[in-house]
Amino acid sequence: MYKSKIAGLGYYVPERVVENEELTKLMDTSDEWIRERTGIERRRYAKKHKETSTTMGVEAAKIAIERAGISKNDIDFIVFATLSPDYYFPGCGVLLQRELGITKSECGAIDIRNQCSGFIYGLSVADQFVKTGMYRNVLVVGAEMHSMGLDFSNKGRNITVIFGDGAGAVVVQRNESDSESAILTTKLHSDGTYAEKLSMILPGSHGGYHNDKHDFGVDYGFDYDIPYGEIFITQKMLDEGLYYPQMEGQFVFKLAVQKFPEVIGEALQEVDLQTSDIDLFIPHQANLRISQFVQKRLGLSDDQVYNNIQEYGNTTAASIPIALAEAWENGRVKEGDLVCLASFGSGFTWGSVLIRW
Ligand code: UT7
């Protein structure tokens, strides 16, 4: 088995800053509510028609590749995590390959659809490929362009105020030096029992199938006589704006604060380390209150935790790589440090990664 390390990392956030105040002009919300409940002060929105999840991912990837000291054609494999892809298919992985100008067709690409845990899952996939010796350099990207698919009416306010756009990327590389740098372990979990509690179920091919067995929490009024070919995108869906994400916030919150400590404890136990050994913990930036709750449960001090949700909101698959790259740029991640990443989100899926930097 080889050792894998993070050889380069970068992030990109769009120029446009959207303050909480701006959202109050579109929906019934307030700066005070958003700050108190989520810690978010502002977020970034991508340029319509000019930027996409892929283009933002490309910008982050260019930085990560340069910092890894390799060239784009040294990338053996691309892992792209997003819930807001440019196209329904094909995935952003191949679009990024094209935009980056990676010309070798031996470079494979996959998309990961694990929402907030997308980057953790992506990192784990990359780690396995590098450890087994199959690939030397795997590019892992997390990118989201939420702004184009949010409900800016009062109905969507619990979700819309949280999300922002951006991208982060890392190059996972075989460590052929004597240094201790390594991804020590990755832990992945899922439980589909509550799949619809945080979901965007339309457009889709189910035609209401799951609704017979599970409570969607929203009356979609599926028409079971609808003909083939018209199930995927229905007129009702368009007329009533049923294609927005939905979330039972408190339900998600309660599970998140339970699963974060569990999955971090599991990773630490495997490599025989303690929470006190963690130099920097970077949680998925879902809600500052979740991060603070988890920090308290783990008994971590403020300088052991990195949060930037205040500036960027929740950028789903991009949130961990953005925070990791920003923390690294700010000198918060140094050689020899034990870095802990963890996430919980839609699916539900959750996971953790321990890295000896
Ligand atoms: O990243 C993926 C994983 N996602 C998460 O981890 C999110 C977890 N959940 C959360 O972060 C929180 O549940 C939210 C921030 C989404 C919501 O906060 P909350 O404290 O759980 O609020 P709530 O949904 O229980 O709603 C409380 C009240 C409601 O009004 P009533 O029924 O008490 O009159 C909502 O209608 O706040 C209202 N509300 C808002 N008010 C102003 C909901 N959204 C807003 C809003 N502005 N944006």
Q: Sketch out the chain's domains with CATH numbers.
A: 3-175 (3.40.47.10)
User: Of 291, 272, 271, 293, nearest to 280 (Cα)?
Assistant: 291
Ligand 1 atom nearest to CA at 253: 8
**Ligand 1 binding pocket includes 345 (Cβ within 6 Å):** yes
Active site residue 314: yes
Q: For position 220, what pLDDT does the model report? A: 78
What are the backbone dihedrals phi and psi of residue 293, each rounded to the nearest 5 degrees, phi first? -65, -45
Q: For position 145, what pLDDT does the model report? A: 98
257 CA → ligand 1 middle, Å: 16
247 CA → ligand 1 middle, Å: 9
Question: Hunting for tokens 């890392």 — which residue is that?
Answer: 170
Ligand 1 atom nearest to CA at 249: 13
Set 92, 107, 116, 340: catalytic member: 116
Set 107, 284, 287, 307: catalytic member: 284
Tens-of-pLDDT digits for all 357 residues of the chain? 999 999 999 999 999 999 999 999 999 999 999 999 999 999 999 999 999 999 999 999 999 999 999 999 999 999 999 999 999 999 999 999 999 999 988 999 999 999 999 999 999 999 999 999 999 999 999 999 999 999 999 999 999 999 999 999 999 999 999 999 999 999 999 999 999 999 999 998 888 888 777 777 777 777 778 888 888 888 888 888 889 999 999 999 999 999 999 999 999 999 999 999 999 999 999 999 999 999 999 999 999 999 999 999 999 999 999 999 999 999 999 999 999 999 999 999 999 999 999
User: Of 165, 81, 122, 120, nearest to 260 (Cα)?
Assistant: 120
Closest residue to atom 1 of ligand 1, CA basis: 286
Q: Which of 28, 114, 158 to mutate to test the pocket of ligand 1 (most atoms within 8 A of CB)?
A: 158
**Ligand 1 binding pocket includes 252 (Cβ within 6 Å):** yes
Locate 133 and state its tokens.
């010796």
115 CA → ligand 1 middle, Å: 19
Q: For position 229, what pLDDT does the model report? A: 86
**Ligand 1 binding pocket includes 33 (Cβ within 6 Å):** yes
**Ligand 1 binding pocket includes 102 (Cβ within 6 Å):** no
pLDDT for 134-176, tens place per residue? Answer: 999 999 999 999 999 999 999 999 999 999 999 999 999 999 9
Active site residue 154: no
Cα separations (Å) of 156 from 136, 227, 243, 266, 346? 43, 30, 11, 36, 17
287 CA → ligand 1 middle, Å: 11
158 CA → ligand 1 middle, Å: 5
Active site residue 116: yes
Question: Hunting for tokens 């977020």 — which residue is that?
Answer: 43
Q: How many CA atoms lie within 13 A of 299 on its CB side?
A: 5
Closest residue to atom 37 of ligand 1, CA basis: 158
Q: For position 200, what pLDDT does the model report? A: 93
Locate 161 and state its tokens.
């105020």
User: Is there a contact between 85 and 132 (Cβ–Cβ < 8 Å)?
Assistant: no
Locate 132 and state its tokens.
């087994």
Q: Which of 31, 37, 163 to mutate to test the pocket of ligand 1 (most atoms within 8 A of CB)?
A: 37
Closest residue to atom 42 of ligand 1, CA basis: 29
